[in-house]
Amino acid sequence: MPRGGRLVRDALHPGAWWVWALALGTAATRTSNPLLLALLIATSAYVVATCRPDAPWARSYGAFVKLALAVLVIRLFFAVALGSPIPGTHVLVTLPEIALPDWAQGIRLGGRVTAETLVRALYEGLKLATLLICVGAANALAHPARLLKSLPGALYEMGVAVVVALTYAPHLIADAQRLRAARRLRGRPDRGLRGLVQVGLPVLEGALERSVALAAAMDARGYGRTAEVPDRVRRTTAALTLGGLLGVCAGTYGLLTAAGGTYGLPVLLAGLVAALAGLRLGGRRSPRTRYRPDPWGARAWLVAGSGIAVAALLTLAASREPAALNPGVIPLVAPTLPLWPAAAVLIGLLPAFVSPAPRNPAPRGAAARKEPS
């Protein structure tokens, strides 16, 4: 039995994992250097391999890696098929070019494929792939149900929909694996069109039964009920939330453009403050309690702070050493690994050493099979 009669659980707040992962994704958007992007991918993969529990919802990291590879391949395919406006001198192959009408000027199908075009497409595709892998790391490390408990009351209904959507695919995969294993044990085919139909129908039936049970449970718990609030509070909440989101969009646009560097950060901060105030007021319409809420402790601060530090340092490096973080393709040169930005990326490994070890659920009867002392 746990010490002191208390349940032992992972005390790391799930929001810390999302802050860490999104900060690594933000850092990936500040560079197109493939060596730094590969280092970011390796950092997230090591943390996931070290801290991921053995649970169905935690097995989505591989799916995000496959999605990132698919995005990279599609980006290279479009670069080959549609060409690129980047002039290049290293011609790799010349494809048959299809003549297009006058209204499609600026678009070509086929033609010359240069090394500069492929390298540029590789850099851009790898940046997006790294961002997807970082999001996959957050899905594999943060329990969706625990994250739902940490959301503000104003976002509770939307959070439930997102959590249900995130857990739907892992449950389908687990059911399909279980049914295929059962069919193999019975000597029945589990591949091909016949196996797909005979496995897919029970999986869809189980998903439908799970959806009906979830709807009944949510209805029994009073899901969707709202409290009465004055009209003045509702109008203030809508104005703050809408104005805050517009401020966040305008501030983000300012940070991403050279002309908006002066107003981008103040507008972004003002928008965040207004949006948080709107969410705070909007929480009055969804009164609910939290059973054993997850604390935001020192470890959560270290995990979130390590990701924020990586994003801040790479943003600083992008302004100090733009040529190293965004290598050009004309002339075509091999990218180099800048030392202090690479060392900054390694700060993202801190969660692997400070986060609690994943505690997997013990099988039934494990306590009865305990070895005698």
Name the burial class of residue 108, with classes exposed (0-12), middle (13-18) and buried (19+) by CB atoms within 10 angstroms of its CB.
Answer: middle
What is the domain partition of the chain in residue ranges? 7-142+295-354, 229-285
Cα gap 201→242, rounded to integer Å: 44
Cα gap 373→361, rounded to integer Å: 23
Q: What's the angle, vertex CA 259, arms to CA 253 and CA 263, rounded to 5?
A: 65
Phi, psi of 30 (to 5 degrees): -90, -5
Beta-carbon-side half-sphere exposure of residue 252 (alpha carbons within 13 Å): 10
Phi, psi of 109 (to 5 degrees): -115, 120
- How many Å is the maximal CA-CA distance in the chain? 85
Separation in Å, CA 172 to CA 44, 161, 168, 169, 306: 26, 17, 6, 5, 34
Report the candidate in 32, 35, 42, 30 with the shortest Cα–Cα distance to residue 134. 42
The per-residue pLDDT string of the chain (373 residues; one tens digit each, 9 = 90 and over) reads 343 333 334 457 888 898 999 999 989 988 889 999 999 999 999 999 998 887 776 777 888 899 999 999 998 888 887 766 667 677 777 777 777 676 666 667 767 778 888 888 899 899 999 999 998 898 888 877 677 666 666 666 666 666 666 566 667 777 777 777 887 787 776 676 766 667 777 777 777 777 777 767 766 766 666 667 677 777 887 788 888 888 888 887 777 665 655 777 788 888 888 888 877 776 666 666 666 677 788 888 999 999 999 999 998 888 888 888 888 877 778 888 889 899 999 999 999 898 876 655 444 344 434 434 3
109 sits in which H/E element:
strand 109-114
Cα gap 212→65, rounded to integer Å: 32
Q: What is the pLDDT of residue 326?
A: 86
Cα gap 77→100, rounded to integer Å: 19
Report the candidate in 246, 326, 264, 351 with the shortest Cα–Cα distance to residue 24. 351
Q: What is the pLDDT of residue 244?
A: 83
